[in-house]
Structures are given as structure tokens and as C-alpha cells.
Amino acid sequence: MFVYTFNRLLALIPTLLAASILVFLFIHLIPGDPASILLGDTATPEEIAELTRAMGLDKPLWTQYFIWLSNVVQGDLGTSVFFREPVLAVIASGAETSILLACMTMMWIIVLGIPIGILAATRHGTWADQLASGGAMLFASVPTFWLGLYLILIFAVGLGWFPSSGFPSITDEGGVFNLRYLMLPSLTLAAPNAALIIRLVRASMLDVAREDHVRTARAKGLHPARVAIKHIFRNALIAVAAAFGFTFAALVSEAVVTETVFSLPGIGRLVVQSILRRDYPVIQGVILIIVIFYMLINLLVDLAYARLDPRVSLS
């Protein structure tokens, strides 16, 4: 297991290098001279000349890349044009919101997706199944911004149960109760993904239920609930775990929309604002971090997969 994890981490390096080249080139692929792009519209010719020299933009491209890469490896992702601060610090300021939002969203996906999926599968064909499957179908097809606005209308504006925008840090006054600011955003973000998990749990459980070993389990005289959980669901989980990797990718893009709708000071909104501000170093930094996260999540999914299915050998 450790050897495998280590090898997989090593194997990430070439992929990361390839990704870093793309991210690096990003700023050079935008039409125009990088220095004037980085400095924005208000820059004077002197400033541009100064930055060109400081950043080594007059050097060959591959030299620039290695300089940039060695900075990145040391944690220096450049300086935000808008904030005039290190990119890493700018991103870190949005990290709390985004990480907490991601955790709450994952919690909802698991807490809603798995039990409802199990219910739909075990009550296959009844009204409970139809309600769950129909609801899942609906939520899987509703756009994120639309659901977010509806939740705000009902639970924030109408009922006044939850705040509709912003997120004070949990280290501020209010402490963990500030998490209520993330209630509606996390539900918005979780809904389509939980719907996906419901459908996936249901479909894989119905598949597994037809397998021969389930008949063996029933022939032991086990209670149907035990057969459903210990035998059917446990096997269905293998397929569900694989889907969690994909869910993460979808979550990233949906998070951008959600953070914007709910005005959350997270990384998603930072991306949108940085695009509007043409703050390319920040965009570059966020993309790099998302790529790294995505790879790590996929590694975790593979490890989980191997733990869930003894037939998968890690070597």
C-alpha cells in the first residue's frame, strides 16, 4: 500500500510537469505582450520595460519556464496584479471558505445520496423509489445558479432561516455557527451531485442484487436488510467510489458558479473576479492548484477502490 502510494505520487510528477507547461504557456498564449497584460491597462511604458526585465521576459521561453517552475516549486506563484500581493497569499485567503464549502458539500452528497439511493433500490418499483428516482432526475438536470437562486428565494428571503450571502470566517465572532452561511451554498452544490449518487447507488445495487452471491446470502437465512447493506450495497459501493472522482471535477466548475451566486469569499469567486480584472497570475495559480488537487483526489479514489475491492491488486 505504501509502496504503491509512493509510486503513484512519483508517477504524478510527469503529469504535473506537463500541466505546468500548459499553465505557464497560458499567459503567453493570450494575445499581447505578457508584461503589459500583467500590469493591466493603466501601465506606463517605463513600468512595462521594468517588468519585462525583472521577469526575464526578454530571455528565451524555455529559460523563462525553468525560472517560473523553480519559483513555483519554492511556493512562489508570482504576484497578483490587482492585490499587489503574492498569489499564494491571495489564494490562501479564499481557501477557508472553499475548503469548508467542499467538506459540507461532500457531507451532503454522502448523507443524502447514499441512504436515498439504498432506499430507492430496496423499495425498487414502489412509490418511494419513484419519488427518489424522479427527484434525483429533476435535481440532476437543474442548473446550479437556478437552484441557488431558488434556495435563496425560499430559505433566505422567504423563510429567513439562513443567510443568503457572504461568509464570515469561523474564527470570527459567531465561531462554527458561521457555517450556517454555507448551508444554502453547500446544498446548492450538493444537489446535482447527490442526485447523481442516488441514481448510481440505485442502479448499481439493482445490478448487484441480480448476482449469484446475493442468492447465497439469502440462502443463509439472513435478514433482508442485512443482505441489502452487507452484501448488495457493499458491492455496489465499488462502482460508486469510482464515480466520486468524476464528481470532484464537476464540483470545481459548479463551485465557481455557487460562490458567485452566494457572494462567498472563496477561490471560485476569486477566479471569476480575477478573470474580470485580468489578474492572470492569480488565474494561473488557481489552475495549478486545482490540477494538483484533482490528481490527489484521483489517487485517493484509486486507493479507496483498491480497499473496497480485494480483486484489485495494488502493484
Partner 1 sequence: MALLEVRDLEVGVAIGGKVLPVVQGISFDVEENQTLGIVGESGCGKSLTSLAIMGLLEGSMLRLTGGSISFNGQDLLALSPRARRAIMGDQMAMIFQEPMTSLNPVYRIGDQIIESLRQHRSMSQRQARARAIELLDLVRIPDPERRVDSYPHQLSGGQRQRVMIAMALACGPKLLIADEPTTALDVTVQKEVLDLMLDLQKRTGTAIILISHDLGVISETCDKVVVMYRGKIVESAKTATLFSNMSHPYTQGLLASIPVVDHDVEWLNAIPGRVPLIDEVLPGCAFHPRCSFAQASCATSPPSADYVSDDHLVRCHFPNDRPSGGEAGGDA
Say which amino acid occupies 127: W
According to CB under 8 A, which residues from 269 to 308 bind partner 1? 308
Give 161: exposed, middle or buried? Use CB within 10 Å, 0-12, 13-18, 19+: exposed
Question: Does 311 engage in binding with partner 1 (CB under 8 A)?
Answer: yes
According to CB under 8 A, which residues from 206 to 225 bind partner 1? 211-213, 215-223
Say which amino acid occupies 277: R
Task: Please name every residue paired with 79 in a beta bridge, in sequence order, or none if there are none.
Answer: 86
User: Strand locations in the chain, DSSP E?
Assistant: none
Question: Does 125 engage in binding with partner 1 (CB under 8 A)?
Answer: no
DSSP character for 43? -
Q: Least Å distance between CB 8 and partner 1?
A: 22
Q: Least Å distance between CB 3 and partner 1?
A: 20
Give 6: exposed, middle or buried? Use CB within 10 Å, 0-12, 13-18, 19+: exposed
Q: Which is nearer to partner 1, 194 or 232 (CB)?
A: 232
Rounded CA separation 315/308 (Å)? 16
Q: Least Å distance between CB 166 and partner 1?
A: 45
According to CB under 8 A, which residues from 235 to 274 bind partner 1? 235, 238
Question: Does 180 engage in binding with partner 1 (CB under 8 A)?
Answer: no
Q: Which is nearer to partner 1, 158 or 310 (CB)?
A: 310
Q: Are residues 162 and 180 in contact, defined by beta-carbon separation less than 8 angstroms?
A: yes
Q: Least Å distance between CB 235 and partner 1?
A: 6
Q: Least Å distance between CB 73 and partner 1?
A: 41
Q: Are residues 207 and 117 in contact, defined by beta-carbon separation less than 8 angstroms?
A: no
Which residues lie near partner 1 (CB under 8 A)?
Answer: 211-213, 215-223, 231, 234-235, 238, 308-311
